[in-house]
Structure formats: C-alpha cells, structure tokens
Amino acid sequence: MPDQAQELRIEETPIPGLLVVHLPVHEDARGWFKENWQREKMVALGLPDFAPVQNNVSFNASRGATRGIHTEPWDKFVSVANGRAFAAWVDMREGPTFGATHHVVLDAGTAVFVPRGVGNSYQTLTDGVAYTYLVNEHWRPGRSYPALDLGDPSAAIPWPIPLAEAEISEKDTTNPTLDDVTPMPPKKVLVTGGNGQLGRALQAAFPYADAVDLDELDLTDPAAVAAWPWHEYHLVLNAAAYTAVDAAETPEGRTACWAANATAPALLAKVADEHHLTLVHISSDYVFDGEQAGPEGHTETEPFSPLGVYGQAKAAGDLAVGTAQRHYVVRTSWVIGEGGNFVRTMRSLAEKGVSPTVVADQVGRLTFTGELVRGIRHLLETRAPYGTYHLTNGGEPTSWADVACAVFERSGRRADDVTPCTTEEYGAGKQLAPRPLTSTLDLAKIRATGFEPEPALEALDRYLA
C-alpha cells in the first residue's frame, strides 16, 4: 500500500531545488485517489510554478527495469501511477553541489520535482510500474544532454537490485563517469538595450549576462526575435527603449517609438511564455498625465493617461508585458546613470560659470541606475509576486530646479544661481512633447516587499563625489 501522507507536504533535499512532495492518498475498497499535480496548492507550499507542457508515461513490465542517469535540460515532476520504484538523482549542474546525490522510494504517496540539470534515474521494485512525468519543454528529436554511469563510484547510488541483475538498455551501459562529465551550465540572463545607461548598470550587476543592442538583436523584427536561441535563457532584462521624447512627436519618431516601446515588448511577452522566461520590463512615469496622482504619487493601479506619443507607446508596452505569465513591469522616473544626463549637465554648467533657467513645476524623484538595479535584483531574489512595481529613489519629491540647485551647491555655486521657471515658459518657441507635471511614483508596493529605497539626495551626494 502507498505511504499515505495526512496532508500535502513538501520536503527539501541536499540537492538545491530537488523537492520531495508527499501526497495525500485516499483509499477505500475500490482502490485509491490522489491529486498528483495540483498547481495552486503546491506552488503555495514552495514548489516552482514550472508551467508543464507535456505529460509522459514510461511503462516498465518487470521488476528491476533500470533507467538513467539522464540530465535533461528542463524541469520535471515525477511520480508513479502504480507500483513502487527506487529513484535517485545526481546534481550535474555547475556549482558547489555538483555530484551531490539523493534517493527515495516512489509510490502513490510520493512525487519529486526535479530541476533542470539534475540527473534522473530509477529502478522498478515491482512488476508493471507506470512511471509518469510532467515536463515544461516539448520533447524534440535530436537534442542531446549529459548522462552518467548508473554505477558511478563517486555517486555510489545504493541500487536495491544489483546492476548486474537489472534490466538496462545498451545505451545506458555506456554513459561516462562523473570525472568525464561536463557540468551543465545554468541558463543565462539577457540584457537588452545593453549600450544604454541602465543596460550598462545591469551588466555590472549581472556580470555573466549576455548584453545586446539593436545591432545584434532587433527586438522590433519578428523574424530576428524568433531566430534568437531563447532556450538558453531564463531571464530577460528589457532595458531597450526609444527615449527621445520630443522626437517621438515627429512622423519618423512616432513610428520608431511605437516599434521599440510597444511592438518589441509584445514580442518579448510572447517569447517569455513560449520559453518559460521571466521578463523584467522597464517602464516610465510618462504613462500618466500627472493630474491624477494620489497623496504619495501615482500608484500601480492608476489608469493610464499618457499625454504624448512616448507615454502612449510605453503604456502599450506595459499592457503587452502584463500578458506574460512571469513578468515584472518596473516603472521609474528621472533616470540618472553613466553618460549624459541632467545631473551631469547641471554640474558642467556650474563648473563653467553658467547660470541656467530650469523648470520648477515638474515634480518627481531622481532614480539612479544603481538603485534601480538594486530594486530589480530584490524583486528577483525575493521572488516577489509578478506584476507592476514603481521603483525610484526615495525621499521627498523635488522639482528639476530643486535638483539643479542641489547640484550647484555641491559644486561650490550658490543655489540662487539657478533661475526657476514654469514648463510653459521653458517651452515657449520650442517644439517639445507634453510632459507630466507630477512624476512622483508611490513606492508603497515595493516597500511592502522589504525594499527600502535610498533617499535621492543621499544618492546624489555619492554620485557627485
């Protein structure tokens, strides 16, 4: 009879990510019933939401049938529909746990989640065992993956039935030992918009990521996107965008802006679902008109109300990314990083003795790229619920003129060397896109995840040091 659990329970093992699932089994005179895979309950207990797409059954006629050790490049959820099997796993991934092993007996009350890169094997203990497994990639012919000798001495798996007496395929008798196995590398991270301020900051924080820009991967081209080897990745950090707010109002700019800020995110959202990727997409305060902000700023649930083409395209991108199962839309404002930006311009003017006129009726918070990256890492590392988050530096909101004054003071100039003006006054005679007067984003949601943004003026001091 199966080893019956009284309640659904998940047990960790010495192999990171390999989870033993104890299933309640309900029996009567007719037989038994179990919920073999129940997404909502299992995910709530810590099982990854691995999105299975295929169910396979391996029927084993006789006791002693032995298969493995196979290291498929996908996640799987294994169990038996009847009978019992001894199952063993070997960590074949790069890292400190390479070669770690674990084994259990599978029966109706036991299932196991096997992460990508962990070698899988089993030996039937009864006749007529139906071994079943869910996987999150479709099987395709011709794909190769690492395998390990069932009798590898360093793994030292205690097979109940000696391998000399077991039924093993010819292919599985020629697998290499652990010394000759190349560890499976982890799936990669892709940074898009790699040449931009944020893209460069993301590369510093994710040093093993692949970074691309338009010349390597045109995200607006469906054929180029389809041809990219997405199966090699698990995370996409989309920092690519058209950011020429004023040029977006021209006929040429309008087309380019919509392609980069709406079409490209839509293609990435489709890719994310097809390949089970997590998609982090950077958005903007420009999706709001600045008129409807609450007392702490614009919230994540405020309806879109963009004023210009740039904001309209960004709002469309947000909607597209929101259709992906695993997504973070990270809205930010007034981004400051390496390269040309408002703070560097003000410092240069201060050093040259120029006294600028700066708008004082546009209010928001600076966001330094280091803080933006820190917040993104926090969302990923804490496995915060998927969705939209506002992320800027903290502290009291300021105007652009306030920021200019702060830069001037830190550069040895007087604050009153900066002359404040209104947006209307600044734009007189210029072809400028409309801008929200209130860009302040409410940070309550990301704070609720345990992230505390650094005050903007403190970050400014370090940036200028």
Asked if residue 329 lies in contact with residue 301, where contact means CB atoms within 8 angstroms, the answer is no
Asked if residue 206 lies in contact with residue 191, where contact means CB atoms within 8 angstroms, the answer is yes
* Catalytic residue, candidates 22, 26, 103, 133: 133
Residues β-bridged to residue 327: 279
Number of Cβ within a 10 Å radius of residue 319: 16
The terminus-to-terminus CA distance of the chain in angstroms comes to 70
Number of Cβ within a 10 Å radius of residue 250: 15
Map tokens 């370090």 to a residue. 462
Residue 70 a catalytic site member = yes
Taking CA atoms, 155 is separated from 68, 174, 257, in Å, by: 13, 16, 55
Q: Tokens at residue 302, please? A: 């405020």
Residue 348 host element (H or E): helix 342-352
Residue 208 a catalytic site member = no
- At position 433, the amino acid (one-letter code) is A
Q: Is 401 helix (H, G, I), strand (E, B) or coil?
A: helix
Closest CA to 69 of 220, 192, 171, 189: 171
Count helices and strands in the chain by DSSP H and E runs: 12, 25
Which distant-in-sequence residues (6+ apart) come within 8 Å of 376 by Cβ?
202, 237, 280, 328, 330, 391
Closest CA to 337 of 373, 391, 286: 373
Taking CA atoms, 435 is separated from 129, 245, 287, in Å, by: 66, 9, 10
* Catalytic residue, candidates 70, 103, 234, 378: 70
Positions marked active-site: 70, 133
